[in-house]
Structure 1
Amino acid sequence: MPQGVRLPKDQLLARYRMSERLAARVGALLAKGIEISGALLEIAGPASPAEALLLHPDLLARSGQLQTSDLTEIAKATPGGDTIPPLVVHTGDGRKVVALEEEILAETAWRAPGPAGTGSLREVAPDALLRPGAGGGGGDLLKPAEAQELFTPEAVARIKLTLLTGVDPAAKIEAVRQLAFAPLDLEEKGRLCLKALAEEHPGIRREAALLLRTLGIAREVSEAIAGLSEGEPGARKLAMAHVAALQSRVTPAEQFILLAVLLAVIREEKDPALAASALEALHAFAPRVVADGELLDRVLRLLYPLLTGESPLAASAAGAIDALGRAHPETVGAALRDELRSAADVPFRRRLLAIQARLDRGRAPGDPCRRALAAALARELGTGTDSDPLCRQLSVEMIALGEDAVGALLETFPAAHPEQRPFLVKLLDDAATSAPVPAAARAAVGEFFLKTWRASGRIVRLALLSTRLPVAPDLPPNLRQEFARCFLADLHDAGFPHVADATLTAIRQMGPDVLPVLRAAATESPHAVERESAVQLYAEILRDAPPPGGASPDLLAEPIAFLRELEHGDRCSAGAVVRATGILLSSPFASPDQIASVAADYRRRLVRSPAAEDMVCALGWIASGPRAPAALRTDQLVLFVELLLRASPDAPVVQQRTDEGIRLEFSSDASRQTDFIRELILAVRRILCADGDSPILPPGLRERAARRLLDQWRLVADYNVIWAPGNVTTLADALGAIALAPGLPVSLRADILAGLLASARSIPIIRTIGLVCGWEGEPDPGPDAAAFGSRCREVAVRFADMLQHVDYSDPEDQDVLLEAIGRIAGAALPGPTPAEAESVRRRLVTCLFDGLAHGHRRAREALERLATSPRLPEDLRIAIRERLDSPLPEGA
């Protein structure tokens, strides 16, 4: 079989004087398993027909199933192809070689026995020289007697001593060369050669690889070993991949030699990227390693140090141990458990625990090994926080253990330091709600959380507010009600708006079970903020999930009567009750008579009420409800848009220059007007969004109102109209919601996106833009779809650049950008054409890969969604799944 050329790039260029472009093509073909013969490369000089053939795009495209007929067809399509000698694709020994047809004929002639005295190669070279197992590198050129005379016992001993103890690389290289001729048996030469293959200096390893060929090792193996030792990084990475592919088709002895060299590269290589490639190649040898207990121990001892401290190879080493574990989970698992008993280095112990967890995650719940793992993870996590990327990695493995994790965490929690307890609360909640856990275990966690709430301070309580357990469907109603009672009773002491918002969100998600608690709190709580919040939550929950009784006209009569009575009482703020009544009347179960009566009352009171913003809020809710009459919705939309465009703080706004820039100070009257503007924006938003689901506005009114809002945004964003920053964000959010509402012209969506993008500086607006780009499209978006896709492409480019900007290096900013990028990558229209949309998706997925490598959870969440998205090409989905299936990057 003709031999293909497998040389590093620099040697290719020097030997064959080829172009850089052709060298790149030869390397690409090697990666596809196609070799090119030296004779063909010799005639493929610059601008030659042979070069044009090798660079033809069809050659690379057909490389997977390349046949001789393909070469003939490509030659015909190549200028000057008729001058190229006939070519063949020769297959053998698991390789494909593109060669000249005459090379095959020549080999046939050389192999055929000729008459004596014909001068054939066989006659010139005796069998001993051609036989693969020939002992001396010079064959019979150096007779045994001559070798015995030259290599005295003292000289042979000196060669051995140099190889075993020498420090001079040049001396060791010379010793390897002499070893080829030394009068030693093959076994002893093999052992010394293996010692040389494990040397740090690549020149020594390369010389030993050349010696291997004289010891009966296949040429392909020796060339692969030589490629591991020297050459440019790209060529060495290719050699490592070749070694991984080669190991399955060589003899056990050759396989062991390849493994020995690979381990030497892992141990001695200074370039982390090359060492990582060697660790990846080690995966293919896992069955061979685990079959030998002594060898497994040696390999693990080599890999363990790479898991310590800030090792750049930690993830690659973990992946290699994962591969060993997949080959034989029991053996490797036992070895890891033994090592963990004495592991003192914290990063090493945590990384090893993560590997152990991946090995044991398939065990059945209650299995002793699984329980022991859960206990070890709980102890480790009890000393960490979610700011530690290794702890975050362990937490993913802990959550997957379900009921075993719950039991271990409940035992660990009391002994944990107070600073670690919020982290453990989150872990316990995730374990109880993210995996199949019996209802009794969930209820036990619920009782534990309630007990912890009563005994804990603000930090732990805030963590408990964010738990998902209180909304678990199978949690007993009495526990859910007790959660609502505890959360609500602490609202007056919330301290910060985000804590109050978290409290309201937590109770809102608990659903109808907590309505009795809220109704009682609306009249009995000693704190006004708790009474007003209870009224609002009561209306919101009742609107979305009315009590049993069927859709009768009087379904909401009693709750509305309760609220109207409360409005005129002294236990609760009238404004809060007005808002709650409006929310309740936006229910699909509200009757027309109830809507007409309350709306008429609120419209009369709007012009003379000191709390006009409350009336606007209530009327906005009523007009946006599915039972609202067309006339009411139309009148309120027109009124609110006109009021909004005319609204401005009617009291002076004082500008003060400070070290941090211009500061605006609003008077109390201006603050009230600011609240009024905010409620007008929200009311218009609700009506415009609701009309997409149940359109009853006159034709064109919805689009005109949306464009007037967009015009107002441009004035506000350019500071031609001065609004409070909160209202600027509220208007941006409103435009984003309108752009996502059904039934809106695509051209208007594109215009809204362009208007927001012009002011994409703050994180809230960036988040809104990401949501708009994630628009799912319509069955027939029409010709304006390209305009929307062009805007999305602009956003994608801008956000990808912002990820690298120092102004957005904060982890929270990065998360917002990555979440937006993930939405755009999976959106219906990320580009104006299918080809450009695919290009955008590929660039954004690369950004998400980078985010994943830096431990951003939002990147992983986005990639998990994209991995199953039919909008992404199959090769991109495969790449995403491979990235997600690899060991979790530290920080993820």
Structure 2
Amino acid sequence: MVDGLRIGNADRLQTLLGHDTRLLMRVGALLKAELAISETLLAQGQEIPGLQELLRDRSLGQAQGEDLEALITAHCGDNSEVVTARASDGWRVLAHIDEVDNPLVAATATAQPATQSGHGQHADLVLLADQLPEAMSRALRSLLAASSDELRAAAVEQLRYLRPGLPLLQALIPLFLGDGAPLVRDAARRLLIDSGVRPAVSRLMDHLQEPDERSLPALREELALLKAEDAELAITALRSGLRQAASGNTVIALAEPLTSALVQSAQLEPFLADLIEQGSSLNLLGLVRQLQEIDGAIVKGYLQKLLGHSREGDARLIAFLVHPGVILADELLQRGLDLLLSPAADPSDRMGLASALLRAANGEAIRAALVTQSSDLAKVRDSAAIWLIGEWAREGAFTVQQAETLLTPLLSLIEQGSGPQVSTLLEQGLPASLPLSPELAGLAIPELGEVAARTRSPRNLELIERIMLRLAPGNPELCWRLIEEHPHAEPRRLGLTCLPLALAGAEAQIIADTIARCLRWCQRLPSGGRQVKDRRQEQALALCIAGELLHQEQVPVNEEFRELASAIDQTASALGPHGWQALGIIAAGRHCHPSRRSSLVTGFLQTCLREVSDQGTHEQTISTRQGEQQTVVFDPSLSAHTHFVPDLLRALNIAARSPYLPAPLLRQVVEGLSSHFAAIARWEVMWAPGNINQLAQLLSGLASESSFPNHLRRLIVRALQTRLSQPEMVRALARVLAADPNGELAAQAAQSLEAVISHQADGRYLDDERVELAHALVEFLAIADLGDDDALLRRRLAATLSGLKRQCRETCRIRLRELLALPINQELGQRLAWAHSSTLPVPEIR
């Protein structure tokens, strides 16, 4: 960092400029305005065109930021070697371009003797020494000239006996903070205490030199009690600590108790300038808001004075100036949008600026100006502007005309934007959240298909599917373009998934043509080669979509659609296990013949309940680094059965929920699956854990319907009760019991809850199962009747939940609050009052 020559370097300045007294006096005037010139620049003064004219310019001393850059350009040209920099103490510095961030400059500065550098860094003390009484001036000069720890400590002791006033103490604090010698620090502490300064100021200085997080809360409490003079010294210490590389977040945390004194202090403006340049903008927002609550007008005036020094600073300052309900002035509005949409690298963090524009009271004017500059969106480097558009779109703030203007640059970003920009677009649901006509909204479907083809992020694929489903209505041909023309599987899958929504409300003949087109597309897919499995999955999805189209209300039951249903049936049957889900959809539809429906459902059930032989399983010797070892090789039919069970269960689930399924057939399905689940619980049948869970969810989902027959619900309850040691099964059982309309299963509900509470008391649930267990127990509060001991059981349930409150995440607490509002749980309100506290952190400000 380049500090430049200061008043303490008067001898060197005299050597360099002694031949030109007028220029020497001019440099002295610039130093008074806190503008220093580097030694390298002054040494080459004759060689750099326009430098002397620049130094003699009367407006140079007050020029800041862009004005200073303009003066340099005016006098020295566009490609000048003169640049501006900031010194370690916040002074402006004119330096040679080769000095900035030069490691040799930093090394030279570090190697300077303490006495030489001390005078340069503490020039204000040199000037102050001339104005002090002789004894105090002599002691201060001794301190500045001391070359050892002992001499500096002795000089501080001399000052202690002379009892310096507040101005000198304030000027000495930066010197003390920069001195790491224990002797000097002890002497400085005694000096402050003997001068009547509260011990909290000394402890603050100790904390800035050696941070201790454990003592921070107590120190903050002490700082809040300081009187005006001591608070002024504390503020000086904070400013000096910030300049001497103390943590910006620590300084802000220590400044918050001093906000009342800060507002009235003359140091507020330079302190804010230092924080904006070096501190954390996120934590600084909280400090600024506290200052604004005390005196918003004076803080606003100081913040506005700091505008124009840098792009990074302006972005932060606009964020600070705009709090909810504030109308952003036209000049600041335009400056904010220019920074937000700038293609330059700075400001580096624009999210605070985007949030400020969002919360401004004149959002309509800001949106209009943003839409006018929307062509700049394609050039931006970050995602803040996209996030802002998305937030406004969610609120429905854009007009149709504005949305149409924004569509073109958004499509360009989808196609050419960076990864973070595309991810932000998808997270914000753009462009589906804009008020666009179906024709214009559909333009994004091909672009999103291309993104799906090149992305590998499951989250992005999920978001793309959601957006495309919202864009699909009225755009079936764009979906077909992806299905029939795209070379990659993922865009084809998305096109197929969107077809039912694209054709919502379409005429029956269009539905028939689309189903026939799906069937023809399936036949065109190659049936051989290395990608047989992937092709069959695509065919299966196309057949599922065709089956869903048959279920639309406008589709009549006539010969044409029966033939189409039969064609889907035949094609799906040829796919083997891949076609099971499509067959389940056909079995659930009104176009399926009753005998075929019975045959399909019975076949699914038999396949699901079939025992898979392990006769093909055998031992085999394999060679490893440890030598030959025995391993078990399973029969391929075992893994195939495990792999396709989820498809089988999905098919059964679809068929079992159909209103066209006869009651005897539904009973057969429920009895078969319930008994099979019980056999799995008794370890008579081996199933994969994921498949067991899916079977439990299938049974629970069926029995949770209010219209489900209660005698069949009883069978499912009996089956699920065999797995109360697993929280997932407990949760599934609770949903079934809560659906009991007449309290016929109250005894089973009480028995199940008592067992779960006992298991928890005995420690039978593992630590990593308790989050799911908390969700499951909350669902028991939805059960209307818990038997004869209903009140007692609810109290025991509340006590158990209180023991698990650390495991009750936010979604669990939201559900708990919903159930506590029911009349049956009113007595538990006080016992479970903790449910009304959130587990989420409260944001400082939007």
TM range (shorter): 0.5 to 0.7
Q: Does 1:178 align with 2:167?
A: no
Specify whether residues 339 and 541 from structure 1 end up closer, same or farther in structure 2 by C-alpha distance, changes over 3 A only. Answer: same
Cα distance in 2 for partners of 1:710, 1:271 equals 71
Give the match for residue 303 of structure 1. Answer: 275
Give the match for residue 374 of structure 1. Answer: 337
Cα distance in 1 for partners of 2:378, 2:760 equals 54
Does the aligned pair in 1 maintain the 2:696–2:732 contact within 8 Å?
A: no
Counterpart of 1:436 (choices 389, 393, 397) is: 397
Cα distance in 1 for partners of 2:672, 2:630 equals 35
Give the match for residue 539 of structure 1. Answer: 500
TM-fit CA distance, 1:479: 0.4
Q: Does 1:241 align with 2:214?
A: no
TM-fit CA distance, 1:508: 1.9
Alignment map for 1:343-382 (pairs within 5 Å): 343=310, 349=312, 353-354=315-316, 356-360=318-322, 362=324, 363-364=326-327, 367-379=330-342
Give the match for residue 545 of structure 2. Answer: 580
Give 3-state SS (helix, strand or coil) of 1:513's partner: coil
Q: Does 1:258 align with 2:267?
A: no
Alignment map for 1:538-557 (pairs within 5 Å): 538-539=499-500, 542=503, 545-547=504-506, 557=508
Superposition TM-score, scaled by structure 1 size: 0.52
**Deviation digits for residues 227-268 of structure 1, max 9, x if unmatched?**
656799588434433235536xxxxxx234224225526744
**Alignment-mate amino acid for residue 269 of structure 2:** D
Give the match for residue 617 of structure 1. Answer: 581
Counterpart of 1:286 (choices 259, 270, 278) is: 259
**Alignment-mate amino acid for residue 357 of structure 1:** A
Does the aligned pair in 2 maintain the 1:398–1:431 contact within 8 Å?
A: no
Cα distance in 2 for partners of 1:287, 1:353 equals 26
Cα distance in 1 for partners of 2:736, 2:273 equals 52
Cα distance in 2 for partners of 1:653, 1:463 equals 51
**Alignment-mate amino acid for residue 315 of structure 2:** L
Give 3-state SS (helix, strand or coil) of 1:282's partner: helix
Give 3-state SS (helix, strand or coil) of 2:573's partner: coil
Give 3-state SS (helix, strand or coil) of 2:231's partner: helix
Specify whether residues 714 and 842 from structure 1 end up closer, same or farther in structure 2 by C-alpha distance, changes over 3 A only. Answer: same
Cα distance in 2 for partners of 1:867, 1:300 equals 45
TM-fit CA distance, 1:338: 6.1
TM-fit CA distance, 1:754: 5.8
Count of matched residue pairs: 630
TM-fit CA distance, 1:441: 1.9
Counterpart of 1:324 (choices 270, 273, 291) is: 291
Give the match for residue 768 of structure 2. Answer: 798
**Alignment-mate amino acid for residue 680 of structure 1:** L
Give the match for residue 379 of structure 2. Answer: 415
Does the aligned pair in 1 maintain the 2:341–2:376 contact within 8 Å?
A: yes
Does the aligned pair in 2 maintain the 1:714–1:755 contact within 8 Å?
A: no
Counterpart of 1:705 (choices 673, 682, 697) is: 673
Query: Where does the alignment leave 5 or more consecutive residues of structure 2 unmatched?
Result: 1-132, 178-183, 525-538, 706-712, 741-745, 782-793, 821-828
Specify whether residues 318 and 535 from structure 1 end up closer, same or farther in structure 2 by C-alpha distance, changes over 3 A only. Answer: closer
**Deviation digits for residues 172-226 of structure 1, max 9, x if unmatched?**
774576356xxxxxxx64445556777437655654564465xxx9xxxx46556
TM-fit CA distance, 1:320: 2.8
Cα distance in 1 for partners of 2:419, 2:189 equals 65
Alignment map for 1:50-89 (pairs within 5 Å): none
Give the match for residue 435 of structure 2. Answer: 474
Counterpart of 2:469 (choices 489, 508, 511) is: 508
Specify whether residues 674 and 373 from structure 1 end up closer, same or farther in structure 2 by C-alpha distance, changes over 3 A only. Answer: same
Give the match for residue 644 of structure 1. Answer: 608
Does the aligned pair in 1 maintain the 2:242–2:248 contact within 8 Å?
A: yes
**Alignment-mate amino acid for residue 161 of structure 2:** Q
Give 3-state SS (helix, strand or coil) of 1:261's partner: helix
Specify whether residues 874 and 532 from structure 1 end up closer, same or farther in structure 2 by C-alpha distance, changes over 3 A only. Answer: closer
Cα distance in 2 for partners of 1:513, 1:244 equals 65
**Deviation digits for residues 709-736 of structure 1, max 9, x if unmatched?**
69769989x9x66x8xxxx867756756
**Deviation digits for residues 550-603 of structure 1, max 9, x if unmatched?**
xxxxxx754553355446657866755532232234557777889995798489
Give the match for residue 647 of structure 2. Answer: 679
**Alignment-mate amino acid for residue 267 of structure 2:** L
TM-fit CA distance, 1:611: 1.5
Specify whether residues 317 and 578 from structure 1 end up closer, same or farther in structure 2 by C-alpha distance, changes over 3 A only. Answer: closer
Give the match for residue 83 of structure 2. Answer: none
TM-fit CA distance, 1:679: 2.3
Specify whether residues 300 and 614 from structure 1 end up closer, same or farther in structure 2 by C-alpha distance, changes over 3 A only. Answer: same
Alignment map for 1:591-630 (pairs within 5 Å): 601=566, 605=570, 609-613=573-577, 615-622=579-586
Does the aligned pair in 1 maintain the 2:232–2:261 contact within 8 Å?
A: no
Cα distance in 2 for partners of 1:259, 1:605 equals 87
Give 3-state SS (helix, strand or coil) of 1:512's partner: coil
Counterpart of 2:512 (choices 529, 553, 561) is: 561
Cα distance in 2 for partners of 1:447, 1:241 equals 53
**Alignment-mate amino acid for residue 474 of structure 1:** P
Specify whether residues 776 and 444 from structure 1 end up closer, same or farther in structure 2 by C-alpha distance, changes over 3 A only. Answer: farther
Taking only aligned residues, the RMSD between alpha carbons, in angstroms, comes to 6.6
**Deviation digits for residues 451-491 of structure 1, max 9, x if unmatched?**
56677899988886766234336212220233335556x59
**Deviation digits for residues 326-348 of structure 1, max 9, x if unmatched?**
5455654565566574448xxxx
Give 3-state SS (helix, strand or coil) of 1:886's partner: coil
Alignment map for 1:92-131 (pairs within 5 Å): none
Specify whether residues 880 and 604 from structure 1 end up closer, same or farther in structure 2 by C-alpha distance, changes over 3 A only. Answer: closer
Alignment map for 1:852-867 (pairs within 5 Å): none
Does the aligned pair in 2 maintain the 1:228–1:239 contact within 8 Å?
A: no
Does the aligned pair in 1 maintain the 2:445–2:468 contact within 8 Å?
A: yes
Give 3-state SS (helix, strand or coil) of 1:616's partner: helix
Instruction: Give percent identity, aligned residues only.
Output: 14
Cα distance in 2 for partners of 1:384, 1:865 equals 42
Specify whether residues 379 and 690 from structure 1 end up closer, same or farther in structure 2 by C-alpha distance, changes over 3 A only. Answer: farther
Specify whether residues 539 and 339 from structure 1 end up closer, same or farther in structure 2 by C-alpha distance, changes over 3 A only. Answer: same
Does the aligned pair in 1 maintain the 2:351–2:384 contact within 8 Å?
A: no
